[in-house]
Chains A and B, each alone.
Chain A
Amino acid sequence: MTLVDALFCLLGVMAVGSALLVALSSNLVHCALWLVVTLGALAGLYLLLAAEFVAWVQVLIYVGAVVVLLLFALMLTRAPIGTLGDLNATNRAVATLVATATGAVLVTTFAAGFRGAHLEIRGADIGSARSLGATIFGSWALPFEVLSLLLLAALVGAIVLSRHQEPR
């Protein structure tokens, strides 16, 4: 096992463990903070898989923006800081069953399809900002434009939804 493998295992265990804590913690703010650990560990995994630009975008958008947005929403909905006893729905057993079945199916499918396959990082070209920019504005230009339209629509929609209604 090389150093990269060991680091990957460490970060993967970190990501899955803190995701489990998001799923099981009874404190809303702790859930959001464990989500930061999961997303940061995922950024480390992207770095190990030679996806440098994706890793920094992950840090900027997820760890930076999305979690702050979630914390703001928790604050605006007056979520209690302390523990909350009833965060779980009543159909918890069904949810556990479905989630376990999903994980089992995915893991067995991947194990059947890719057992023994080896991922060679050493020869991979680093996905830097330069190479990814050339790819996105070359081969992926049309999806990029459609994505900008989608972001504009989401912006307008968020403004319309969160605008205070004038009393008539």
Chain B
Amino acid sequence: MPVLFPLVVSSLLFSIGVYIVLARRHAILVLMGVELMLNAVNLNLVAFDAFWHDRLDAGQSLSLFVIAIAAAEIGLGLAIVLLVFRTHQHISLERLRELADRDEPQGREPEPVRGQGGAAAL
């Protein structure tokens, strides 16, 4: 098969992942977009492993490493999302402005921190 088949599929998946990360505002959906991008990279690694007939199986080993790192990332990411939900009662990324690197627009109060005081202690 032409090596362009897996490469085109992986670049399309990567750009869809970029779109999800940029255009969605639900935090869990953004994490899904990150997973899609990591999977696109994995497809590229496996395709080039088969293309070069790698004796060391570098592509497949690296894709296993990427899968393990993605599992760690999704666990930590979901823990952070759940913590944000506990302290803010929502996970809409457009309303989470406390860490934004710019001034608040006039007339809008920052979100009050509710919950069990978790954000202050952490």
Contacts and interface: CB of A to CB of B under 8 A. Distances in A.
Interface string B10-43: 0111111111101111101101110110010011
A151 B14 CA distance: 25
Nearest to A152: B72
A57 B28 CA distance: 23
Given A54-B64, A90-B94, A147-B68, A119 B1 contact: yes
Interface string B73-108: 111101111110100000101100000000000000
Given A70-B28, A99-B15, A107-B11, A132 B64 contact: yes
Interface string B103-122: 00000000000001110011
Interface residues of A, number: 93
Dominant SS among interface residues on chain A: helix
A61 B73 CA distance: 13
A74 B72 contact: no
Given A16-B16, A77-B82, A99-B19, 17 more contacts: A16-B13, A31-B29, A54-B64, A57-B67, A88-B24, A89-B22, A89-B25, A90-B94, A124-B53, A150-B69, A151-B68, A151-B72, A154-B72, A154-B73, A158-B79, A161-B82, A165-B122
25 contacts: A12-B9, A20-B16, A23-B16, A31-B32, A35-B36, A46-B43, A49-B49, A53-B64, A54-B42, A62-B35, A62-B70, A70-B32, A74-B28, A88-B23, A88-B24, A94-B22, A99-B19, A103-B15, A119-B5, A127-B49, A136-B61, A144-B65, A147-B69, A150-B72, A157-B76
Interface of A: 2, 4-5, 8-9, 12, 15-16, 19-20, 22-23, 28, 31-32, 35, 38-39, 42, 45-46, 49-51, 53-54, 57-58, 61-62, 65-66, 69-70, 72-74, 76-77, 79, 84, 86-92, 94-96, 98-100, 102-103, 106-107, 110-111, 114-121, 123-125, 127, 131-132, 135-136, 139-140, 143-144, 147, 150-151, 154-155, 157-158, 161-162, 164-165, 167-168
